[in-house]
Amino acid sequence: MGALTIWNIAGVPALICAVMGYLSGSVPFGLILTKMAGLGDVRSIGSGNIGATNVLRTGNKGLAAATLILDALKGTVPALLATHFLGFEAGLIAGFFAFIGHIFPVWLGFKGGKGVATFIGVMFGLAWQMGLLFMLVWIATAAITRYSSLSALVASVAVPLVLWATADPKLAALATIMTVIIWIKHRANIERLLSGGESKIGKKG
């Protein structure tokens, strides 16, 4: 315990968790999968995003589902591992940097996705009920509106609101920060939603 305490003071575990999380989050699965499937560069269609919604615009639902799952897992795995070996606060750090890695991957010139799937994955890794809540709110909103972006925005707000009322304030603060980033990354979508120009779910690029 003494050695671990010294490490915590020196910040070594935090650095390890941050690097591990970032490297996990920065793997551009959407781009990799579409190129492997011979569909070209997913950044050249639709929104130009590497996430599951834009992969769906290729018309390949299987690849879109795989992208969603893998983008979520790259948030879940580092959060779970860090929590298991170093505690909950380490999991918060690893999860947050996985989220940042997805949005700003070094391999793609720091131009990545919008963070929605990785947000869900981080929540499943730290508080699975919040990951489930996000998915339920997303599904309900999508069923009504058919807008993926709006569904993500609504669900991303629901999670921190519930967390502030029921859970650890550190987790609530993390979710709030990630939600703010998601909204910033969706600013173009918000403009299109307001103007009526946003694409609906399933529309090809």
Question: Is residue 60, in this structure, part of any structural domain at all?
Answer: yes
pLDDT tens digits, residue range 95-136? 999 999 999 999 999 999 999 999 999 999 999 999 999 999
Contacts of residue 74, defined as CB under 8 A and 6 or more positions apart, other chains included, come to 24, 25, 27, 29, 98, 101, 102, 118, 121
For residue 119, the enclosing domain spans 2-195
* Residue 8 reports pLDDT greater than 60: no
Question: Is residue 181, in this structure, part of any structural domain at all?
Answer: yes
Question: Is residue 205, in this structure, part of any structural domain at all?
Answer: no
Question: In the prediction, which pLDDT does 48 show?
Answer: 73
Q: What span, in angstroms and rounded, lies between the C-alpha atoms of 100 and 114?
A: 10
Give the residue with greater pLDDT, 5 vs 51.
Answer: 51
Question: Is residue 167, in this structure, part of any structural domain at all?
Answer: yes
| Global pTM value | 0.89
Question: Is residue 180, in this structure, part of any structural domain at all?
Answer: yes
Question: Is residue 153, in this structure, part of any structural domain at all?
Answer: yes
Question: What rounded mean pLDDT belongs to the chain?
Answer: 89
Q: Is residue 184 helix, strand or coil?
A: helix
Number of domains the chain is built from: 1
Question: Is residue 204, in this structure, part of any structural domain at all?
Answer: no
Question: Is residue 31, in this structure, part of any structural domain at all?
Answer: yes
